[in-house]
């Protein structure tokens, strides 16, 4: 039995007539047919029913009583079926924020799962960001140091603040037994927790020293290999990329919800798409020339003035008026679209500013109608349609990111 195919043999639910079918998983699949041909019997009463039934069977008898029980569909056998969710036509899509995830409440579970189990990947270098422990830091260092067993200094950071003088801070540290500063930079003291040899035989001492550094350094420790000219290794018990020396916030479930301001992509406010002027609607026929009226919105009597402006400025710039739009150079088309400056400055303002100006007058009904004719939805350029802010998309489960939901 292949894991990637659902095998149905002898399905007879309702009007299905002994149907044999292999359905590949992991892709979109559309079931079509005339009314009464058994589409719903296959999708809802066979596939969904069997998926749900087997899923429910994995729970204890106690838990099962709270779950929707489905009758076993009429079929000789059904193999390879995963847990199923279904959204039928009677379940209206209420808002443009509705997704399969929100309608089935899967999104609620996913945001908890991501907050607990996902792994952060540093946007700077792509490496997984894990919390270091003295043990994991020790393992990483020993692996890095290899057979040379170099000596190293383990430090923890102490920030100089205006509240306490440097002298009294050093005094407090000295009282605790830390009387040496390894480095000082930008108000940050690297205080020596101990000197070690990066040798597996001395692992215990290494872990102890790191424990001290983590504790006093509030989760931060730095290891400076001696006399190798190598950059220091930074470790953190917090979410910190040692490679980029960048710290990240702890995740919360809200971060993984596009219906929450904390999680929603700022570019599209969690809609996954943005509305914008569609160049293909503005110039619907690229075989037309500027003189023939390639730019459609300028052809209505109300905006004839813009067509006149375009032709006048284009002629002055040597942009051919009698060449089809498709044959103009990319730079010439960009000139038409982006313009040269503001209308007030007496230069070509461009199709873009024309629409910006219209947007400012969208309180008028006929302007709104006009705008809607040239607008189109496109995937949000900031999140690529994933609806979530970048900080959320850095988290991945088992290598998978928050892909745009269907
Ligand atoms: Zn990094
Ligand atoms: Zn977005």
Residue-by-residue DSSP string for 129-189: E----HHHHHHHHHHHHGGG--EEEEEEEEE--SSS-HHHHHHHHHHTT---EEEEETTEE
Q: Packing angle between helix 134-145 and helix 203-216, nearest 10 degrees?
A: 130
Residues lining ligand 1 (ion), CB within 5 A? Answer: 122, 124-125, 241, 243-244
DSSP assignments along 148-163, one per residue: G--EEEEEEEEE--SS
Q: Are 66 and 47 in contact, with CB atoms under 8 Å apart?
A: no
CATH architecture type of domain 275-379: Orthogonal Bundle (1.10)
* Distance from the alpha carbon of residue 395 to the mean position of ligand 1, in angstroms: 13
* Distance from the alpha carbon of residue 107 to the mean position of ligand 2, in angstroms: 17
* Distance from the alpha carbon of residue 274 to the mean position of ligand 2, in angstroms: 8
pLDDT of amino acid 131: 86
C-alpha span between 52 and 86 (Å, rounded): 9
Give CATH 1.10.8.280 domain extents, the chain: 275-379
Q: Long-range pairs for 323-329 at CB < 8 Å and ≥24 separation?
A: 323/289, 324/286, 324/287, 324/288, 324/289, 324/294, 325/283, 325/285, 325/286, 325/287, 325/288, 325/289, 325/290, 325/294, 326/286, 326/287
* Distance from the alpha carbon of residue 69 to the mean position of ligand 2, in angstroms: 38
For residue 385, the ligand closest to its alpha carbon is 2
What are the φ/ψ torsions at residue 225 (nearest 5 degrees)? -65, 135
pLDDT of amino acid 67: 79
Closest C-alpha among 194, 251, 246 to residue 217: 194
* Distance from the alpha carbon of residue 264 to the mean position of ligand 2, in angstroms: 8
ipTM entry: 0.94
For residue 239, the ligand closest to its alpha carbon is 1
pLDDT of amino acid 389: 94
- Assess if CATH 3.30.190.20 describes domain 128-247: yes
For residue 243, the ligand closest to its alpha carbon is 1
Q: CB-side exposure of 293: number of CA atoms within 13 Å?
A: 9
For residue 392, the ligand closest to its alpha carbon is 2
Closest C-alpha among 156, 158, 186, 155 to residue 172: 158
Q: CB-side exposure of 310: number of CA atoms within 13 Å?
A: 30
Q: What is the mean pLDDT of each run of 10 residues along the chain (406 residues)?
A: 78 90 90 90 91 88 81 89 83 73 85 91 90 89 83 91 85 90 89 91 92 90 82 86 84 92 92 90 95 94 93 94 95 94 92 92 88 91 91 83 45
C-alpha span between 109 and 51 (Å, rounded): 19
For residue 122, the ligand closest to its alpha carbon is 1
* Distance from the alpha carbon of residue 44 to the mean position of ligand 2, in angstroms: 33
For residue 272, the ligand closest to its alpha carbon is 2
For residue 394, the ligand closest to its alpha carbon is 1
pLDDT of amino acid 405: 41
For residue 127, the ligand closest to its alpha carbon is 1
Residues lining ligand 2 (ion), CB within 5 A? Answer: 265, 267-268, 380, 382-383
* Distance from the alpha carbon of residue 373 to the mean position of ligand 1, in angstroms: 45
Residue that has been written with the tokens 């040597």 in this structure: 318
For residue 240, the ligand closest to its alpha carbon is 1
Give CATH 3.30.190.20 domain extents, the chain: 128-247
pLDDT of amino acid 266: 94
C-alpha span between 358 and 367 (Å, rounded): 7
C-alpha span between 213 and 195 (Å, rounded): 11
Counting every residue written for the chain, the total comes to 406
73 CB-contact burial (10 Å; exposed 0-12 / middle 13-18 / buried 19+): buried
For residue 125, the ligand closest to its alpha carbon is 1
C-alpha span between 228 and 225 (Å, rounded): 6
Q: Are 172 and 207 in contact, with CB atoms under 8 Å apart?
A: no
For residue 123, the ligand closest to its alpha carbon is 1
* Distance from the alpha carbon of residue 392 to the mean position of ligand 2, in angstroms: 12
For residue 126, the ligand closest to its alpha carbon is 1
C-alpha span between 157 and 191 (Å, rounded): 6
User: At a CB cut-off of 8 Å and minimum separation 6, what does 221 contact?
Assistant: 132, 134, 137, 154, 155, 156, 193, 210, 213, 214, 234, 235, 236
* Distance from the alpha carbon of residue 127 to the mean position of ligand 1, in angstroms: 6
* Distance from the alpha carbon of residue 128 to the mean position of ligand 1, in angstroms: 8
Closest C-alpha among 51, 110, 37, 100 to residue 257: 110
């Amino acid at each position: 039995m292949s894991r990637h195919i659902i095998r149905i043999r002898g399905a007879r639910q309702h009007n299905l007539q002994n149907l044999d079918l292999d359905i590949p998983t992991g892709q979109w699949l559309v079931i079509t047919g005339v009314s009464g041909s058994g589409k719903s019997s296959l999708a809802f009463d066979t596939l969904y029913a069997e998926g749900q039934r087997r899923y429910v069977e994995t729970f204890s008898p106690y838990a099962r009583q709270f779950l929707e029980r489905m009758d076993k569909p009429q079929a000789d056998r059904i193999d390879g079926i995963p847990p199923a969710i279904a959204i039928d036509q009677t379940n209206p899509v209420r808002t443009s924020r509705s997704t399969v995830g929100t309608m089935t409440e899967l999104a609620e579970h996913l945001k908890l799962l991501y907050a607990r189990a996902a792994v952060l990947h540093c946007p700077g270098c792509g490496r997984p960001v894990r919390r270091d422990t003295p043990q994991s830091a020790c393992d990483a260092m020993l692996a890095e140091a290899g057979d040379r067993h170099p000596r190293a200094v383990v430090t923890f950071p102490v920030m100089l603040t205006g509240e306490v003088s440097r002298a009294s801070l050093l005094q407090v540290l000295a009282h605790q037994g830390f009387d040496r500063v390894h480095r000082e930079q930008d108000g940050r003291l690297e205080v020596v927790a101990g000197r070690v040899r990066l040798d597996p035989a001395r692992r215990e001492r290494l872990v102890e020293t790191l424990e001290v550094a983590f504790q006093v350094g509030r989760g931060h420790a730095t290891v400076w290999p001696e006399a190798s000219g190598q950059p220091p290794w930074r470790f953190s018990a917090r979410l910190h990329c040692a490679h980029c020396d960048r710290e990240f916030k702890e995740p919360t479930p809200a971060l993984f919800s596009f219906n929450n301001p904390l999680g929603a992509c700022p570019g599209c406010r969690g809609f996954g798409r943005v509305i914008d002027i569609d160049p293909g609607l503005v110039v619907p026929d690229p075989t037309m020339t500027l003189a023939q009226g390639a730019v459609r919105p300028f052809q209505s009597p109300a905006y004839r003035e813009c067509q006149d402006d375009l032709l006048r400025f284009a002629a002055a710039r040597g942009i051919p008026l009698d060449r089809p739009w498709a044959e103009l150079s990319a730079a010439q088309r960009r000139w038409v679209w982006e313009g040269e400056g503001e209308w007030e400055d007496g230069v070509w303002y461009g199709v873009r500013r024309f629409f910006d100006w219209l947007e400012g007058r969208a309180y008028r009904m006929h302007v709104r109608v006009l705008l809607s004719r040239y607008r189109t939805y496109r995937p949000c350029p900031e999140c690529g349609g994933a609806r979530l802010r970048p900080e959320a998309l850095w988290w991945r489960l088992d290598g998978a990111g928050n892909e745009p939901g269907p």
